[in-house]
Amino acid sequence: MILKQTSLSNPIEEKIAWAQHCYQEFGDDLLKEKRLVDLLADLKAAVDASRREMALTGIVEICRRCDQEEGGSCCGAGLENRYDGWLLLINLLLGVKLPKTRQQTNSCFLLGKNGCLLMARHVICINYLCKKITDIIDPHTIMDLREKESEEANTLFVLHENIKTVLRK
């Protein structure tokens, strides 16, 4: 099996097409690998835990207000360029439907009306907090969130490397 590579510098549409091709070609085989299935479940649980913590701390509401009422957003156009085909493939394995077009002109290609369309996100998207948030939210609360985000990022890394290993065999 020859796995054609995609570059981080490719347009997001090409990276999405690469991920979809890999998913169609190898998705069933990847989902038969117990280690990968377990890691996908672990990642989903870690994502759920960190996003639940973000909601409980009030960060989700702060971000919503900033984006919808104050015209700001950390998820600006171009942020999608940090995503590689592997991370998009992981989202497909998690059952995420990748977008075909940008939904908001000045926003990340991967941002929908209700936030990020992805489950598995780039590390900068997992742990970036603006100064407004760090000024408002208690540091101990942020520390609790960081622990959950760390679990998410670590699980994502291990899954990412395991998928590469399986596909390169």
Query: Tokens standing for 129?
Result: 């907090």
Query: Tokens standing for 14?
Result: 């090409």
Using only the alpha carbons of the chain, give its radius of gyration: 17
* Residue whose C-alpha is closest to residue 76's, from 104, 113, 118: 104
pLDDT tens-digit series, residues 33-81: 999 999 999 999 999 999 999 999 999 889 888 878 887 778 888 999 9
Instruction: Report the alpha-carbon distance of residue 110 to residue 98 in Å, rounded.
Output: 8
pLDDT score of 32 more than 60: yes
Q: In this structure, is the dihedral angle defined by the CA atoms of residues 110, 111, 117 and 118, taken in order, positive or negative?
A: positive
Which pLDDT score, from 0 to 100, does residue 114 have? Answer: 80
Query: Tokens standing for 161?
Result: 């490397």
- The whole-model pTM stands at 0.92
For residue 3, name the pLDDT band (cuts at 50, 70, 90): low
Listed by start position, the domains of the chain span 12-168
Query: Tokens standing for 3?
Result: 């796995």
Which pLDDT score, from 0 to 100, does residue 1 have? Answer: 46
pLDDT tens-digit series, residues 95-115: 999 999 998 888 899 988 888
